[in-house]
Amino acid sequence: MGKPIMAKATAVWLVDNTTISFKQIADFCGLHELEVQGIADGDVAAGVKGFDPISNNQLVQEEIDAAEKDPLHKLKLKFYAAALGEEKRRGPRYTPLSKRQDRPASILWLVKFHPELLDGQISKLVGTTKPTITAIRERTHWNINNIEPIDPVALGLCKQSELDAAVQKANAKIAKEGGGMSDDERRKLVSTEQSLDMDAEPKIPSAIEGLETFTLTGTEEKKEVEAPIDADSLFNLPDDDGKGDED
């Protein structure tokens, strides 16, 4: 069931102007029953002006009368044809002005840590446009050198459940269509626990054997290893007769 606009202000009006139970008001306005009781006690929504649902075309008087007579009656929101389908609006979500400057950082984080996400999914998560995502992916964004990746959940641009759902959907699509994937790609798509159980990646040897020889103008010469120089011998030079200096 749809909820009225300005739900808390509507609850204030219903508490002040009707004898409907707290439970009925809570169910209609999408609030908790204790929250409605707090409104009646003056502990919640102090200073909020009541919003008349009748004059604002959200309720009819007959519904209020029926609810006052029957505590089990559930208020029904008045059908408003112009609002039909509003809750299923497509496209990027609205991002408040105060958080729009954080979108490039969240896009860079998603591109870096979740490369499986499509541009359309990122657009819906943080409320941005595909050209912006492409610019950050290709590092052609005008401010790319000053952008640091930050989790969009930490920035409040999306919920963790929404991010998890998008990642799972992307992974399922890749698993269905991808078939053969490289080890690097597969490691990016599995959880941390699964990644720890996988075989270790081969490491590059720290030293490469066979560099004792090198090729110069088509001839191969052996590299000679010089003996370490004794520092004392530099200060004990031989005399003309071949003997060293004596103190």
Beta bridge partners of 222: 213
pLDDT per residue of the chain (247 residues) written in tens, 0 to 9: 567 888 888 999 999 999 999 999 999 888 898 988 888 888 887 778 888 888 888 888 998 899 899 989 988 887 655 444 444 445 555 656 656 788 899 999 999 999 999 999 998 898 888 999 999 999 999 999 999 999 988 888 888 888 888 999 988 888 887 654 555 555 455 444 554 555 555 544 444 444 444 444 444 444 454 556 665 666 665 555 555 555 4
Asked whether the beta carbons of 102 and 150 are under 8 A apart, the reply is yes
pTM of the predicted model, to two decimals?
0.39
Residue 185: other Cβ atoms inside 10 A: 13
Asked whether the beta carbons of 4 and 29 are under 8 A apart, the reply is yes
Per-domain boundaries in the chain = 7-83, 97-173
d(CA 7, CA 9): 6
